[in-house]
Amino acid sequence: MTDVKEHGGEGGGEEASNLTVEDVMSALSNVIDPELGLDFVELGLIYGVEIDDGHVSITFTLTTPACPIGPHVTEQMEEFVGELDGVRSIDCEMVFSPPWSPERMSEDAKFALGF
């Protein structure tokens, strides 16, 4: 888990209550798979986002368990989500169950990759 400096000084609790899953997903769309050139949201690699009073939990996967970018991806997620107002801490959990498959991708990602 990464602690994030509270944004906006006092009143962080109010800002935390305004933080939405959509805000987090938008921030996560900046995390790009370097091999495929598409973002983790479009690729369907984000399995879940939970927000509890400024604490953000992200569950994600990689296209394959052998993919070596896991630590780099976690750093990027923490960086981009940590920039959002109201985020107090971030916990990223990489899972491989259920396994990722191309069916999880958005229609745009499928088109871009020729599926």
In a domain, 106, yes or no: no
pLDDT score, position 68: 86
pLDDT score, position 5: 38
pLDDT score, position 17: 61
Binned average pLDDT, 10 residues per bin, the chain of 115 residues: 41 60 98 93 97 97 89 95 97 95 94 90
In a domain, 105, yes or no: no
DSSP 32: B
Could you give the number of structural domains in the chain?
A: 1
Element (H, E) at 24: helix 21-28
In a domain, 110, yes or no: no
In a domain, 114, yes or no: no
Amino acid at site 16: A
pLDDT score, position 66: 87
pLDDT score, position 92: 97
Give the residue numbers spanning the domain of 54.
2-100
In a domain, 111, yes or no: no
In a domain, 84, yes or no: yes
In a domain, 109, yes or no: no
For the entire predicted model, the pTM comes to 0.83
Do 71 and 60 contact (CB within 8 A), yes or no?
no
CA distance 77 to 68: 16
CATH of residue 28: 3.30.300.130
